[in-house]
């Protein structure tokens, strides 16, 4: 059985008149709109390094642990690394690691960790698989990256630029999966 196409349609008053039979139009409109919501509902987990970040170099568990809700299984479909003010040299590298529910063993979700060099310029961001000057895009080991309910993510800071870099972070974009 195939899905009805995802479409942002509104149910018209004429389709819902009292004592009238339910029409194919009403059912198809409702189903298409439901599929649209399922296709476009995304969530974001974010880790932030606000202010001067030099002291975070080599730190683990920075800005807490994110636990996925237990109601569904999930999939990560994009990751974005961003930087505010660049330092004088070097690169800032952030890593996201996953542990299964009940485990304390974390493994990187990336085959390539994302990094931003000081040459990239202030206010830069790079998404998974992008090509941005001065940046190494993060690459997920599997795309989409599967997550089971109650799995956990954390951020580690692998390296920090020299000088006075400020305001870096990483966003993980995810949605429910079947």
Percentage of the chain with pLDDT > 70? 95
CA distances from 124 to 13, 86, 121 (A): 47, 9, 6
Domains assigned to the chain: 1-40 (no CATH), 43-177 (2.60.120)
**Least confident piece of the model among 28-32, 70-74, 81-85, 129-133:** 28-32
């Amino acid at each position: 059985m195939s899905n009805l196409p995802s479409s942002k349609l509104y149910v018209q008053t004429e389709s819902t008149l009292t004592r009238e039979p339910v029409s194919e139009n009403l059912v198809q409109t409702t189903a298409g709109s439901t599929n649209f919501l399922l296709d476009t509902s995304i969530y974001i987990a974010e880790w932030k390094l606000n202010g001067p970040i030099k002291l975070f170099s080599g730190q683990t568990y920075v800005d807490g642990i994110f636990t996925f809700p237990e109601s569904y299984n999930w999939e990560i479909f994009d990751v974005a690394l961003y930087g505010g003010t660049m330092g004088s040299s070097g690169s800032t590298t952030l890593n996201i690691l996953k542990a299964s529910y009940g485990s304390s063993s974390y493994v990187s979700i990336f085959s390539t960790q994302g990094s931003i060099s000081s040459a990239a310029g202030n206010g830069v961001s790079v998404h998974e698989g992008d090509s941005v000057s001065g940046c190494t895009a993060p690459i997920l080991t599997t795309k989409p990256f599967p997550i089971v309910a109650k799995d956990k993510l954390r951020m580690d800071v692998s390296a920090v630029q020299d000088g006075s870099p400020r305001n870096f972070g990483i966003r993980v974009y995810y949605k429910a999966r079947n």
